[in-house]
Structure 1
Amino acid sequence: MIRTPLRPLARILRARERGENPDAIEAENRAQRHAEIQDKARGRARSRLCFMAAGFVLAFGTVGFKMAVLASSRPSEPRVQTTGAQIISQRADITDRHGRVLATNLLTYSLYAHPRQMIDPEAAARKLAGIFPDLDLERLRKDFSGKRSFVWIKKKISPEQMQAVHDIGEPALLFGPREMRLYPNGKIASHILGGSTFGKEGVASAEVIGVAGVEKAFDQWLRDPANEGAPLTLSLDLTVQAAMEEVLSNGMSVMNAKGATGILMEVATGEVVAMASLPDFDPNERPRPLLKGDPSDSPLFNRAVQGQYELGSTFKIFPVAQALDLRLVSPNTMINSQTPMKIGKYLINDFSNYGERLSVTDVIVKSSNVGTVRIAQLVGVERQREFLKDLGLFEPTAIEISEASTGRPLVPQRWPAVTAATVSFGHGLATSPLHLAAAYATIANGGTRVRPTLIHGRKPRRDEQVLSAEAARGAMAMLRQVVTRGTARSAEVAGYEVAGKTGTADKPSPNGGYYKSKVVATFASVFPASDPKYVLVVTLDEPSVTGVSGAVSRTAGATATLVAAELVRRVAPLMGLRPATESQLPMVERPLPDRLKLVSN
């Protein structure tokens, strides 16, 4: 900055020439300089005051706005903010449709040690091996006497075991609180629940994560604090599930079967009321998976979802229902059933000789392979394929368990005439029993597709009409006659109008071809037939029952139907379904008196 001198030489010389006092010039310049300095200081002070005022206005405005927002918002409890480094140990319960607990949490303790602080490592190792027989004594000795400063001993212990460890008196043996997952019903619904294990672990807490089933499919939801502890409500009925597993287990034993599957589903909603796969396991002590051999030999294998089977004659209702829908046949249309039937180089035969002609209804009642193929030929290869695809038989089910994605049906890549023929009576296309249950539910639901679900109260989505209501009613009437006078007469349960279809399919051999004496026997049913409410599918893997005469039978009519009938007797009353009296049954379904039966025969 250029400053003006207080005594400028030119003005001083002129003042002296005029006889003026030069000091007056200095005083004038000094006063002017002081005035300029004061003006600048005043400007700076004014700017600072304006800035401070603006800051105060902004701050108080922000506070006022926040107070207004809080005053106008609804009150709520504050939530704890979680961080990525924190171990989230809380996990929501899982309940059945009536609120009964299927999975919950239990406070327990872990056991760990600081070997460097031990007083008597040898005695501690020896006494711990006595309390926990599964521990390796030599391993404990090595861990306690080595250089390690921290050793996990047990991830969870019982109160009795905790007291026994206390009694050892070793101060370097410490306990850490944690929550463990508890399945109070043991093996019941084990394949649906799946199981859990510990994820991130610390001495004060441990993260519980799902490893299979519903626990894995809803893992994030079950661990989300935002749900505020609300349970996950499944569509299962615990009482019905327990009854199903008991009946299946007994049936599996009586029928000498390798495995068994049962599925009970609501027709209107697709909600699975019970679903069992045997053999099963206890999710509290989940076994290790098999690393070699047949996966179905493992108790972890979920036959209802993961098992892909050729389900035999249970498929015969599909081409018949489609032909009814396309108005290619009626229930009374006569079909050529003369055997054998030749397609290319292959011969198709029936279990018995049913004569030269059968009505469409009797094709289903007597389970004629030849008659079914004739009807499938009327439908045509492309239309047959599209119909089965619309039923959901070409894709995994969307049921809410982690194994659902692995249950992809085995669909032929090519679909020539011979494939269309064999698929029409349940060979050449392998699906799970759950696929079959959903397809039968679609027929029972008036032709509207049903998608299975394990979540209770979920609003079913509006789905496509796969089949006309008239064709669906016609198919249901045929399935009812299969039970009253066909291959499934053993499935009849008084008062419940069971309708269904048997299916006995040879098991494919891993070396190619089929086994001669191993089958998968299935009975797919609906009840009550006049007002369908439930679908029940029972599948037995390799059943074999010896009759009074000593003959061995493996057919579904002699095995799966008996198990299904007992299931209906047990579970229908549990679900509040009362048996209809004879006067309440439809006229066409009333049984004839024995005297009239003899006359008619």
Structure 2
Amino acid sequence: MTEPTGDGEQPRRPLRPLAPVLRARDRGENPDLIERANRIRRHETIREKLMARAEGRLIVLGLFFLAVFGTVGMRMGQLATSVPEEPRVSLFGSTITSARADIVDRKGRVLATNLHTQALYAHPQDMIDIPYAVDELVRIFPDLDHDALLARLSQKGRKFVWLRRTLSPEEVQAVHDIGDPGLLFATRDMRLYPNGHLAAHVLGGASFGDEGVRAAEVIGVAGVEKAMDARLRDPAKVGEPLQLSIDLSLQAATRKVLQGGIDLYNAKGGSAIIMDIHTGEVLTMVSLPDFDPNRRPRPALKGDPSESPLFNRAVLGVYELGSVFKIFAVSNALDLGLVTPDTLIDTESPLVYGRFKIGDFHNYGPTKTVRGVIEVSSNVGTAHIAQMIGPTRQKEFLGKFGFFEPTPLELVEAPTGRPLLPKVWGDLAGMTISFGHGMSSSPMHLAAGYASLLNGGHKVTPTILKHQGIVPEGERVVSEQTSRQAREMLRLVVTDGTASMGDVPGYYVAGKTGTADKPKPGGGYYKDRNMVTFASIFPYYDPKYVVITTLDEASVFAAGMERRTAGWTVVPVAAELIRRVAPLLDMRPAIEEPAPSGIREARNSH
């Protein structure tokens, strides 16, 4: 009996050879034991062959892995002992691009640019006296942690340590004076804002993206830097500055006046916007407190975000702005033909609606004309006008001015500045909204709304970018007559009403005050905290600019008592602002008021 063999193999020996079997029978032994022994011997031979084959394969596989790990180890050793090279961007293998277009104001003055600077790093293996170098580095850079830096530089086998991303020329020289060959420099680009705090919330700031030792990608992190990041980094447009509508001189004057008003009236903060009433170009936008974008602070992790210097009150801040909204209710009624400026309106206080009462700051008597309602700022009179309009038509009217959507400003923060609207827009909500409560919007919304209402009735879209050439008129939102009547009423507010301290001789300011109590987080309103606003235009007979000024929790002791209303606080600040900026806008004070022609030429952006 033999076992079968595979193709090409030699015939195997039989498991029961005849001669041994016969001999075993002659001796009386069991011949099956011969077959069993031969089978065991054959299996041992097969096992030895298989083991030899497996050992050969393992040796080959081991040699392969040894070669791979040897190659990797050699490359790691080469990298560890060489000077760090600039990393490569994975796409197409191109190097890091740090180029970024400049940002300039409307007159071409630089607001943001790239600057060559030095980065500082260390090769600990090349350092002569690490403890001395650490002492000197901490003296030059006080924010460095002495013990942590010493531990990093003294760590066994460490070949590279980052120290600073950017250095000033003075810091470079101070590090040179240490004289340690293990402290090394590399040239890179950084973003520089030569005007510091000016236009901080407009520009936002930039930081480093992908970075190596000798190059770093500069990317926008906020403001127009972030919103226009792709445009600023476009290789085809790097040499073409991004021109904003901001005027640097106006921005500086506005910030100085607003800061003075905050200090004088003990306010927590404030904002100021100057907008071209016909083009929507924002000439200045200031929010205080602010920051230096060269050293942009980290966002606050605790507390009220609106109190952070990073918070843009002009765009992100949505507030109940108070009586500045009354002109929209009156204009709505005028445009619908429901009233004229001389129509008598019930102003008997309080107005009772169900279990709610609406009152006025003073008792204005049983009736006032429509213009009188605006002049004295009657909540009751405005609420009665809102009842005539009805919530449906009121909502449709305010929607035409953009009060229900974020402003389309070219800032990354703008989409989050969404107005807060009532869940149910009924009769009561319509009455409270008519005098600026129950709906929250930003000062930028208010600026665009006043511009659209008072420029002759054409909608404007706010922009932070400078228009090129003639700007076409927007869609009509109110009639020319309604726009003119609204301007005349707002002029009365300054000459005879609540904004008597807002007049600037020769510039014929018109505007509306707003004093709104701040809502409590749990419901209700604070009695001693408010937001004051003055929304104004000048000159009222041929308006060119809208000025929106706000102060947060302003107060002043005057005429024997503490005053918190807009007429005593924010109005004088706005008047001083107009007095400062009007000459910068090439506007000469008029000796007497010219007669309005009712004709306006197409405006070129200037």
- Give the TM bin, normalised by the shorter chain: 0.7 to 0.9
Query: Hey, what does 2:277 align to over in structure 1?
Result: 267
DSSP 3-state at the match of 2:206: strand
Among 114, 122, 127, the residue aligned to 1:118: 127
> 1:172 Cα shift?
1.7
Among 152, 157, 172, the residue aligned to 1:143: 152
Is the 1:318–1:424 contact (alpha carbons within 8 Å) kept by the matching residues of 2? yes
**Which stretches in structure 1 are left out of the alignment for 5+ residues?**
1-81, 588-601
Is the 2:99–2:238 contact (alpha carbons within 8 Å) kept by the matching residues of 1? no
> 1:481 Cα shift?
0.8
> 1:137 Cα shift?
1.3
Q: Could you tell me the TM-score, scaled by structure 1's length?
A: 0.82
Q: Distance in 2 between matches of 1:127 and 1:535?
A: 54
Say whether 1:382 aligns with 2:392: yes
1:98-155 deviations in whole A, cap 9, x for unaligned? 1111111111100011122323222222222222111111111111111322110000
Query: Hey, what does 2:118 align to over in structure 1?
Result: 109
AA of the residue aligned to 1:498: V
Q: Distance in 2 between matches of 1:371 and 1:328?
A: 14
Among 515, 532, 557, the residue aligned to 2:567: 557
Task: Show the 5 A alignment for 1:112-261.
Answer: 112-146=121-155, 147-261=157-271
Is the 1:344–1:418 contact (alpha carbons within 8 Å) kept by the matching residues of 2? no
> 1:461 Cα shift?
5.8
Among 535, 550, 554, the residue aligned to 2:546: 535
AA of the residue aligned to 2:117: T
Query: Hey, what does 2:54 align to over in structure 1?
Result: none
Is the 2:347–2:366 contact (alpha carbons within 8 Å) kept by the matching residues of 1? yes
Q: Distance in 2 between matches of 1:494 and 1:436?
A: 25
Q: In terms of mean alpha carbon deviation, does 358-367 or 227-236 score higher?
A: 227-236
DSSP 3-state at the match of 1:186: coil
1:336-365 deviations in whole A, cap 9, x for unaligned? 111111112101111111111110100100
Say whether 1:90 aligns with 2:99: yes
Residue 583 to residue 210, structure 1, CA distance change in 2 (3 Å): closer
Q: Distance in 2 between matches of 1:174 and 1:86?
A: 21
Query: Hey, what does 1:471 align to over in structure 2?
Result: 482
1:531-559 deviations in whole A, cap 9, x for unaligned? 0100000001000100142x000000111
Among 454, 467, 476, the residue aligned to 1:457: 467
Paired residues in the alignment total 505
Residue 439 to residue 155, structure 1, CA distance change in 2 (3 Å): same
Q: Distance in 2 between matches of 1:478 and 1:159?
A: 59
Query: Hey, what does 1:503 align to over in structure 2?
Result: 514
> 1:84 Cα shift?
5.8
> 1:223 Cα shift?
1.1
> 1:586 Cα shift?
7.1
> 1:89 Cα shift?
0.6
Query: Hey, what does 1:515 align to over in structure 2?
Result: 526
DSSP 3-state at the match of 1:511: coil
Percentage of pairs with the same residue = 58
Query: Hey, what does 1:397 align to over in structure 2?
Result: 407
Q: Distance in 2 between matches of 1:154 and 1:349?
A: 61
Q: Distance in 2 between matches of 1:539 and 1:167?
A: 51
What's the Cα RMSD here? 1.4
Query: Hey, what does 1:17 align to over in structure 2?
Result: none
Among 311, 316, 321, the residue aligned to 1:306: 316
> 1:228 Cα shift?
4.2
> 1:475 Cα shift?
0.8
Query: Hey, what does 1:284 align to over in structure 2?
Result: 294
1:435-491 deviations in whole A, cap 9, x for unaligned? 001000001221111111011125646532111111111111111111111111110
> 1:83 Cα shift?
4.3
Is the 1:307–1:433 contact (alpha carbons within 8 Å) kept by the matching residues of 2? yes
Q: Distance in 2 between matches of 1:127 and 1:352?
A: 68
> 1:584 Cα shift?
3.8
DSSP 3-state at the match of 2:581: helix
Residue 223 to residue 248, structure 1, CA distance change in 2 (3 Å): same
Among 397, 412, 418, the residue aligned to 2:422: 412
DSSP 3-state at the match of 2:224: helix
> 1:85 Cα shift?
4.2
Among 337, 343, 347, the residue aligned to 1:327: 337
Q: Distance in 1 between matches of 2:261 and 2:163?
A: 43
Is the 2:542–2:596 contact (alpha carbons within 8 Å) kept by the matching residues of 1? no
**Which stretches in structure 2 are left out of the alignment for 5+ residues?**
1-90, 598-606
> 1:578 Cα shift?
0.8
Is the 2:100–2:238 contact (alpha carbons within 8 Å) kept by the matching residues of 1? no
Task: Show the 5 A alignment for 1:328-367.
Answer: 328-367=338-377
Is the 2:118–2:187 contact (alpha carbons within 8 Å) kept by the matching residues of 1? yes
1:22-78 deviations in whole A, cap 9, x for unaligned? xxxxxxxxxxxxxxxxxxxxxxxxxxxxxxxxxxxxxxxxxxxxxxxxxxxxxxxxx
Q: Distance in 2 between matches of 1:448 and 1:456?
A: 19
Query: Hey, what does 2:576 align to over in structure 1?
Result: 566
Q: Distance in 2 between matches of 1:547 and 1:214?
A: 41
Is the 1:93–1:105 contact (alpha carbons within 8 Å) kept by the matching residues of 2? yes
Is the 2:232–2:238 contact (alpha carbons within 8 Å) kept by the matching residues of 1? no
Is the 2:280–2:460 contact (alpha carbons within 8 Å) kept by the matching residues of 1? yes
AA of the residue aligned to 2:564: R
DSSP 3-state at the match of 1:184: coil
Query: Hey, what does 1:49 align to over in structure 2?
Result: none
DSSP 3-state at the match of 1:402: coil
DSSP 3-state at the match of 2:413: helix
DSSP 3-state at the match of 1:552: strand
DSSP 3-state at the match of 1:318: helix
Is the 2:314–2:443 contact (alpha carbons within 8 Å) kept by the matching residues of 1? yes
Q: Distance in 1 between matches of 2:593 and 2:440?
A: 42
1:396-424 deviations in whole A, cap 9, x for unaligned? 00001111011000011211111111000
> 1:511 Cα shift?
2.2
DSSP 3-state at the match of 2:549: strand
> 1:393 Cα shift?
0.6
Q: Distance in 1 between matches of 2:406 and 2:423?
A: 16
Among 440, 444, 447, the residue aligned to 1:437: 447
Q: Distance in 2 between matches of 1:557 and 1:130?
A: 52
DSSP 3-state at the match of 1:537: strand
AA of the residue aligned to 2:502: A
